[in-house]
Amino acid sequence: MPVSKIDREKRAKCLAGTGVTKVFGVGNARNVAVDHVDFDFREGEIISIVGESGSGKTTLSKMILGLISVTEGEIEYQGKPRDIKSHAKKKEYWKGIQAIFQDPFSSYNMFNKIDSVLLDCINMRGGRSLPKAEKEAMMTEACSFVNLKYAELTNKYPFELSGGQMQRLMIARIFLLKPKILLADEPTSMIDACSRATILDMLLKLRDEINMTIIFITHDIGLAYYVSDMVYIMEQGKFVEVGTADEVILNPKADYTKRLISDVPKIHEEWDLSTV
Amino acid sequence: MKNQLKQVFHSPRFVIGFVIFVFMLGMAVLYPLLVPGDPLEMVASSSYPPGTYISLADTLESKQYGLDLDITATRLNKLISQEDKDAMVLWLTKYRGIAEEDIPVEDSVEMVHFWNEHYDPEVEQKGLTNAKRQYYRRLASRMATILETKDIIIATKNPETGALEESNTISFNTYTNVKDIASRRNFVLGTDNFGRDVLKELTHAVGTSLKMGLLAGVIATLIGLTLGLLSGYLGGLVDDIIMFVTNLFTVIPSFVLIILISFSVSQSARGVMLVGVIIGLTSWTWTTRSVRSQVISLRNRDHVNLSKLSGHSLPRIIVQDILPYIASYVVMALILQISSAILAEAQLSMLGLGPSTTKVATLGLMMNWAMTAQAPLAGRWWAFLPIILSIALITFSLNLMNTGLDQVFNPQLRD
Ligand SMILES: Nc1ncnc2c1ncn2[C@@H]1O[C@H](COP(=O)(O)OP(=O)(O)O)[C@@H](O)[C@H]1O
Ligand SMILES: [Mg+2]
């Protein structure tokens, strides 16, 4: 289901970066994880950032989320320089941008019950003083959106769920938070193959429901082509190719992109062999 | 969590440690309840070995029973020490030229007869000092009458005439039942140099030392935990400052610090709990370091990131998302801190820098008292061995519990 071509320039800027760089360590241990990248994400787009493991995708996403500091460069949010210096400003920013992480097994505090994860989202959207019944109705709705039963989850701990269920709970969380931007960092890479398609479908359904921008991080260029409008190819901390999904994948220019694409049929051949 | 608790009690090390610890704790709690009274009361006039002590006067007045037992041999064995026997054999072989095999050392009665027959003070005793000669003379006179079992006459003074009047005779087959004697006391571990009941004192000391260790351990763990959390989670300048102070405290060995502080606090103020506070204040560094390194590995975990994205404040993240993950670790650190605080107090007291008090006993103070009274030199084992054993058992049990916990919480250590 490739998304229809859109007139990009008409869409409002929601997140843009210039020369964004992250350097870990100093001296001999100096490691440039993200190296002067520029990006321009528009409202309502699905943007894929594609690269091999270790290319700096997670580091870039943490900078975008404001979870780690930016060594160098500027990030603009909704057309203005991003200001997340104080805790209050950060909280405001996180009302607009949320994330789903790679590893569902380490994404939850294993000492807190599932209810508290969902209640946090309601509280964050100012629903702290709502009556209990209403909160429960909201949580039930969010759970049923991702085909989970709230009644079965209440009083359970996240680690009692399967990886796929945990990732669906993450989507339920986003459903409650209704952010403008969702950053999904390889949300399907750590879960079983059967659950992958479900998760993707739910993400796309959620986008239609609350009309948000999705930054989709993946190492699978086929998947990127399948879901996205814009594709950013990342190699060793740099964007080596940027364009619409059709431009980049049907007509790749960088060698790295060509290599990534040439790997895809191979994967499918293996798949076919093993399934026949 | 519940599972882990169950696993803890499946770890043999933890269970053994726990049982020993509960035994020591139970002794410290229950013994004073069962045997009330001042634990430091001086009941004896000196250090006596373990045993049941009964009043001699009471034995005379108590009911008498006649038993027909042959007690000569057992009595002699008590009355003639091995030293006496060795001396006798030496004299007989040296000055009488009797072969050692011919002397009936095994049979005490025969031995006395043999000695009385062969000893002669007139024999030339070359190479014997005058003191030794006197010793043999005294020994011989004791041996001459030792086999006689004459009745003992008890006499009282007539208050008017001042003459002695026979009031009772006690023959060697007169007995009394120990139960009939009202004035008796069982000192399971004897008495110490101040004449205190060692067992009573020891249970009291175990209790005080545990309390002191707990205080020191809690202080050290709280400081170490707070600093470790802040420095690990906040990083940057806060981390630099905290690590600088921590390194400063690490470079100066904490024991030297304890000694210096203890020394500078005036004698009168140095109570048990103050010593606990001093030990606690100087031994937090390694808790800080280890908590810090745990926190550093936790702070970038995604559950912490998710908590941030949910708008949680810094204190809430530390308490809810970091602390539970290191809680088991902190408990282990606390256990080790308690154990090392008890040891530190013992060391400090041995140097005479421990609590300065005679009102309460700690394990270290009891060791110190035993040392100043030279109990080990005098062979008064009951005054120091039980203390060493208690210190060893407490620290051993705490360390066992710690390794048991470690095995449960760090599965890669399980063998
Ligand atoms: N907290 C960190 N400290 C030091 N180096 C890091 C840290 N996080 C990531 N890196 C380094 O940054 C590089 C990019 O990592 P990452 O962003 O996780 O890649 P990706 O998500 O594309 O697999 C890697 O070389 C990694 O070792
Ligand atoms: Mg990654």
Residue pLDDT, tens place only, B249-289: 888 877 787 888 878 887 777 888 989 999 999 999 989 99
| C-beta of B300 in contact with ligand 1 (< 6 A) | yes
Establish, for the pair of chains A and B, how many residue pairs have beta carbons separated by less than 8 Å: 51
Q: Which class for A273: exposed (0-12), middle (13-18), buried (19 or more C-beta within 10 A)?
A: exposed
The candidate with the shortest Cα–Cα distance to B396, out of B342, B354, B355, is: B342
pLDDT, tens only, A234-262: 999 999 999 998 888 888 888 999 888 88
Is A24 a pocket residue for ligand 1 (Cβ < 6 Å)?
yes
What single DSSP character describes residue B179? G
Higher pLDDT, B355 or B206: B206
Per-residue pLDDT at B2? 67
**Spatial distance between the Cα atoms of B200 and B223, rounded to a whole number of angstroms:** 35
Of residues B256 and A49, the one with the higher pLDDT is: A49
**pLDDT tens sequence across B207-218:** 999 999 999 999
Between CA A230 and CA B300, with CA A235 as vertex, the angle to 5 degrees is 90
Cα–Cα distance for residue pair A223/A217, rounded to 1 Å:
10
Euclidean distance between the first and the last CA atom of chain A, given in angstroms as a whole number: 25
A173 contacts A153 by C-beta, under 8 angstroms: no
Of B309, B320, B324, the CB nearest to A98: B309
Weakest-pLDDT range from A103-117, A216-230, B99-113: B99-113
CATH architecture of B2-44+193-413: Orthogonal Bundle (1.10)
Structural domains of chain A ordered from first start: 10-268 (3.40.50.300)
Report the residue from A94, A98, A106 with minimal CB separation from B303: A106
Q: Looking at the predicted structure, is the pLDDT value of residue A271 above 70? A: no
Q: Which of A62, A87, A109 faces B303 most closely, judged by CB atoms?
A: A109
Ligand 1 touching residue A49 (CB < 6 A) = no
What is the rounded distance in angstroms from the CA atom of residue B273 to the CA atom of residue B197? 24
What spacing in Å lies between the alpha carbon of A236 and ligand 2's midpoint? 13
Count the neighbouring beta carbons within 10 Å of the beta carbon of residue B315.
8
Provide the pairing of β-strand A97-100 with A181-185: parallel
Spatial separation of the C-alpha atoms in residues A171 and A189, rounded to whole Å: 15
Question: What pLDDT is attached to residue A274?
Answer: 41
The pLDDT of residue B128: 81
Residue B235, chain A, CB below 8 Å: the answer is: no
Sheet of A31-42, strands arranged across: A31-42, A13-24, A72-77, A80-81
pLDDT attached to residue A266: 55
Q: How far apart are CA B219 and CA A109, in angstroms?
A: 28
What are the boundaries of each domain within chain B?
2-44+193-413, 56-68+149-186, 72-145
CB neighbour list of residue B313: distance below 8 Å, 6 or more residues apart: A87
Residue A3 has pLDDT above 70, yes or no: no
pLDDT given at position A275: 41
pLDDT computed for residue A67 by the predictor? 94
For the residues A25-29, what does the mean pLDDT come to? 89
* Cα of B38 from ligand 1 centre, angstroms: 66
Position A13, amino acid: K
Backbone angles phi, psi at B274, to 5 degrees: -65, -40
Q: Which amino acid is at B400?
A: L
DSSP string, A179-198: -SEEEEESTTTTS-HHHHHH
Which residues in chain A have their CB less than 8 angstroms from residue B310's CB?
94, 120-121, 124
Cβ distance B204 to B193 under 8 Å?
no
State mean pLDDT over B114-142.
Answer: 85
* Cα atoms in the Cβ-side hemisphere of radius 13 Å centred on A123: 12
Q: Which pLDDT band, with edges at 50, 70 and 90, does B137 fall under?
A: confident
Rounded average pLDDT over B60-73: 81
Q: Which of A225-234, B69-78, B296-305 has the lowest mean pLDDT?
A: B69-78
Closest CA to B345 of B402, B266, B283, B397: B283
Reported ipTM = 0.91
- Residue B305 above 90 pLDDT? yes
Residue of B nearest to A66 (CA): B309
Yes or no, beta carbons of B303 and A98 under 8 Å apart: no
Q: Which residues of B touch A67 (CB under 8 A)?
A: 305, 308-309
Q: Which of the 8 DSSP states describes residue A44? A: T
- DSSP per-residue codes, A63-79: HHHTSS--SEEEEEETT
Residue B39 contacts residue B189 (beta carbons within 8 Å): no
| Structure-block tokens of residue A75 | 């990030």
Contacts of A109 in chain B (CB under 8 A): 303, 306-307, 320-321, 324
The DSSP bridge pattern shows strands A13-24 and A31-42 to be: antiparallel
pLDDT digits (tens, 9 = 90+) for B30-50: 999 998 888 888 888 889 999
Pull the structure tokens for residue A118. 């969902």
| SS3 assignment, position A230 | strand
**Torsion sign (Cα): B55, B60, B66, B71:** positive
> Is the Cβ of B307 closer than 8 Å to some Cβ of chain A?
yes
Share of chain A above pLDDT 70, in %: 93
Torsion of CA A99, A103, A105, A106, to 10 degrees: -70
Q: Tell me: the pLDDT tens digits for B221-258?
A: 999 999 999 999 998 999 999 999 999 988 887 778 78
Residue B413 has pLDDT above 70, yes or no: no
- Token pair, residue A162, equals 């399967």
Here the tokens at position B310 are: 């949910």
pLDDT in tens, A160-215: 898 999 999 999 999 999 999 999 999 988 888 888 888 999 999 999 888 899 99
- Binned at pLDDT 50, 70 and 90, residue B88 comes out as confident
Q: For tokens 């993707």, name the residue.
A: A200
Give the contacts of A31 (CB within 8 A, at least 6 positions apart). Answer: A23, A24, A25
**Would you state the pLDDT for residue B256?**
82
pLDDT at A268 over 70: no
pTM strictly above 0.95: no
Judge whether B301 is closer than 8 Å to chain A, CB to CB.
Answer: yes
CA of B175 to the centre of ligand 1 (A): 91
